[in-house]
A and B are shown apart, each in its own frame.
Chain A
Amino acid sequence: MLLQTTIKRNAYYDSVTLMLISRDLQKLDGVDEVLVGMGTDLNLDLARDLDLATSDFDTLTSNDLFIAARFDDTQISMQAIEDAFSELLNKSSQSDDDDDHQPPTLRSALQQMPGANLVVVSVPGQYAAAEVEDALDAGLHVMLFSDNVPVEDELHLKQKAVEKGLLMMGPDCGTAIINGVPLCFANAVRRGKIGVVGASGTGTQEVTVQVHKLGEGLSQVIGTGGRDLKEQIGGLMMIQGFEALIANPETEVIVLISKPPAPSVAQKIYQIAKTSPKPVVIDFIGGDRDAIEAVGAIPCVSLEDAAQKAVAVIRRQPAVDFTGFILPSEQIERIVEDALAKLKDDQNELRALFTGGTLADEAMKLLGDRYQVFSNIPLSPEMAIENLQDGRGHICLDLGEDQFTRGRPHPMIDPQTRTDYFKSHVDERTGVILVDVVLGFGSYTDPAGAVADSLREIRQRLSAHGKDVVVVASVCGTDLDSQDLNKSVATLEAEGVIVMPSNAQAVRLTDMLMQGMKGA
Chain B
Amino acid sequence: MMKLNATTIADDLAVFLRNSGNQSVRVHSVFTHALNLLVGADELITLVDYDDVTPMGLVVDEEIDFTKHASIGDEFVIDSSRFFAVDGAFMVNLEGARVWQSAPLQDAALRDSAEIAQVREQLSGWLERQPSLGLLPLLPRLVNQEYLLNQPYEDIYCRFIASDLHTFKTALIENDWKLALKRTDKLIGFGMGSTPSCDDFLEAYLAVFSYTDQSLPGRYPWIKQFNQAVLNRAISSTTTISLNMLRHAANGKLNQSSQQLVQTCLFNTKEDLFTTAARVLEHGASSGGDFLLGLVCVLEWFQEQKTAFIKEGAYAFTNNY
Give A residues with C-beta under 8 Å from B. Answer: 10, 12-20, 22-23, 35-38, 40-43, 46, 49-50, 62-63, 93, 103-104, 108, 124, 126, 406-408
Contact = CB atoms under 8 A, between A and B. Distances in A.
Given A15-B285, A40-B190, A62-B238, 12 more contacts: A12-B239, A19-B286, A36-B192, A37-B196, A38-B196, A40-B239, A41-B237, A46-B156, A46-B190, A62-B237, A108-B62, A407-B122
B192 A19 contact: yes
Contacts of B72: 10
Nearest to A416: B129
A402 B305 CA distance: 33
Given A15-B33, A15-B284, A42 B194 contact: no
A13 B34 CA distance: 11
Nearest to B279: A124
Contacts of A12: 29-31, 194, 239, 241
B160 interface: yes
Given A40-B239, A42-B188, A42-B237, A17 B156 contact: no
A40 B285 contact: no
B191 A37 contact: yes
A63 B122 contact: no
B239 A42 contact: no
A18 B191 CA distance: 10
Contacts of A38: 189, 193-194, 196, 238-239
A19 B157 contact: yes
B133 A43 contact: no
Output the residue of B34, B125, B193, B196 with the most chain A CB within 10 A. Answer: B193
A35 B156 contact: yes
Contact of A62 (B29, B240, B284): B240
Closest 6 A-B residue pairs measured CB to CB?
Answer: A40-B189, A42-B190, A12-B194, A12-B29, A104-B63, A14-B31
Nearest to A47: B156
A37 B189 CA distance: 10
Contact of A17 (B33, B50, B241, B285): B285
B159 to A, nearest CB: 10
20 contacts: A12-B29, A15-B32, A17-B133, A18-B192, A18-B193, A20-B133, A38-B239, A40-B190, A40-B239, A42-B187, A42-B189, A42-B196, A43-B191, A43-B196, A46-B157, A46-B190, A50-B156, A103-B63, A407-B122, A407-B125
Interface string B48-79: 01100000000000110000000010000000
B272 interface: yes
A17 B286 CA distance: 6
Contacts of A50: 156
Nearest to B135: A19
A164 B32 CA distance: 40
Contacts of A15: 31-33, 284-285
A17 B274 contact: no
Contact of A18 (B186, B236, B285): B285
B104 interface: no
B155 interface: yes
A42 B285 contact: no
Contacts of A407: 122, 125-126, 274
Contacts of A108: 62-63
A103 B122 CA distance: 33
Given A36-B192, A63-B240, A93-B32, A42 B186 contact: yes
Given A15-B31, A16-B285, A19-B134, A37 B192 contact: yes
Contacts of A18: 192-193, 285
Nearest to A14: B31
Interface string B191-218: 1111010100000000000000000000
B275 interface: yes
Nearest to A19: B192
Contacts of A104: 49-50, 63
A40 B284 CA distance: 19
Contacts of A19: 133-134, 155, 157, 192, 286
Nearest to B61: A105
Given A62-B237, A93-B32, A14 B285 contact: yes
B261 to A, nearest CB: 14
Contacts of A103: 63
B224 to A, nearest CB: 25
A157 to B, nearest CB: 21
A287 B124 CA distance: 45
Interface string B267-282: 0000010110000000
B143 to A, nearest CB: 16
A431 to B, nearest CB: 34
Contact of A46 (B49, B126, B160, B188): B160
Contacts of B62: 108
B45 to A, nearest CB: 15
Interface in B218-248: 236-241
A408 B126 CA distance: 8
B52 to A, nearest CB: 12
Contacts of A36: 192
B240 A126 contact: no
Nearest to A35: B156
